Amino acid sequence: MKIKIINPNTTASMTAKIGAAARAVARPGTEILAVSPAMGPVSIESHYDEALAVPGLLQEIAAGERAGVDGYVIACFGDPGLDAARELARAPVVGIAQAAMHLASLVGSSFSVVTTLSRTKGQAWHLAERYGMKRFCANVRACELPVLELEQPGSNARRRILDECRRALDEDGSDALVLGCAGMADLCQDLAQALGVPVVDGVTAAVQLVESLATLGLRTSKRGELAAPPGKPMRGLLQPFTLPSPDLRAA
């Protein structure tokens, strides 16, 4: 089985860390391909960043379909481009926020999301509502931590995340935690051990879900809303994204 994990930002060190976390939980025989797009923001911390990350993400999905990839993980907690990626792919596509929230709801009666910057909290709440997880989500909390600080040696990021997780347990009444950034994937086990509660990292959760979907032969439905997008000309900088008709793609 071949799973492609796409970090929609272009920071190579974060992509390598995400890939290592994924390989640590993948089944024997599963090949993990961790990639970043060739274009896009170095970190994703706003709606603007998300919008500009999607074209490069979709290029990686299209390349994976040509290569016969068995499933995809979108490794950004905003799940950017998830519906568009599912339109392009026949293989299953799982976003890490959707995966983490669902798994957290299975191991606790409520969870808190601990994320990076306050400006991203609204998006996390939006996704919780969209995924039917709002009734399980006790709170979304921010460490006021820029994403790229997670990549800086000597940063106090780990301590700040741990402190915010403790506040979540003390103040929110949560009995599980969700890490709200793919760049936190390497902290999951240490945090769970220190806190004594389930801590869910979306990268590893999504890998396990994609493996299960692929094993069960469950592929993205091509009926209705997630059918292949209609072919039409694209102009200007988006000309390379022009698609043939769905009939020609299926041939």
Kindly indicate whether the domain formed by 2-95+205-250 is annotated with CATH number 3.40.50.12500: yes
For 213-240, how does the pLDDT look when each residue is reduced to its tens digit (9 = 90+)? 999 999 999 999 999 999 889 999 899 8
Assign 159 a pLDDT band (cuts: 50, 70, 90).
very high
Residue pLDDT, tens place only, 65-76: 999 999 999 999
Q: What does the pLDDT read at residue 246?
A: 60
β-pair partners for 156:
none
State yes or no: pLDDT of 125 exceeds 60.
Answer: yes
| pLDDT computed for residue 186 by the predictor | 93
Which token pair is 68? 């016969």
User: Could you report the per-residue pLDDT of 4-63, keeping only the tens digit for each?
Assistant: 999 999 999 999 999 999 999 999 999 999 999 999 999 999 999 999 999 999 999 999
Mean pLDDT of 146-150: 91
Predicted pLDDT of residue 243: 84
| pLDDT (0 to 100) of residue 249 | 52
pLDDT reading at 199 higher than 70: yes
pTM here?
0.94
Give me the residues paired with residue 241 across strands.
none
Question: CATH 3.40.50.12500 in the chain, residues?
Answer: 2-95+205-250, 97-201
| Domain at 97-201, CATH from 3.40.50.12500, 1.10.8.290, 3.40.50.300, 3.30.2130.10 | 3.40.50.12500
pLDDT of residue 251: 46
As a whole number, the mean pLDDT across the chain is: 94
Cα(6)–Cα(15) distance, rounded to whole angstroms?
8
Q: Sorting pLDDT into bands at 50, 70 and 90, what band is 247?
A: low
Average pLDDT over residues 87-95: 97
Is the pLDDT at 137 greater than 60, yes or no?
A: yes
Q: Once rounded to an integer, what is the mean pLDDT over residues 104-127? A: 97
Query: Residue 154's pLDDT is what?
Result: 80
Helix axes 157-172, 188-195, angle to 10 degrees: 50
Q: How far is CA 181 from CA 151, 215, 223, 236, in A?
A: 12, 27, 32, 33
For the sheet with 93-95, list strands across it: 31-35, 2-6, 71-74, 93-95
Least confident of 104-113, 162-171, 229-238, 240-249: 240-249
pLDDT at 147 over 60: yes
pLDDT at 217: 96
**CA distances from residue 22 to 26, 55, 92, 221 in whole angstroms, order as listed:** 6, 24, 16, 25
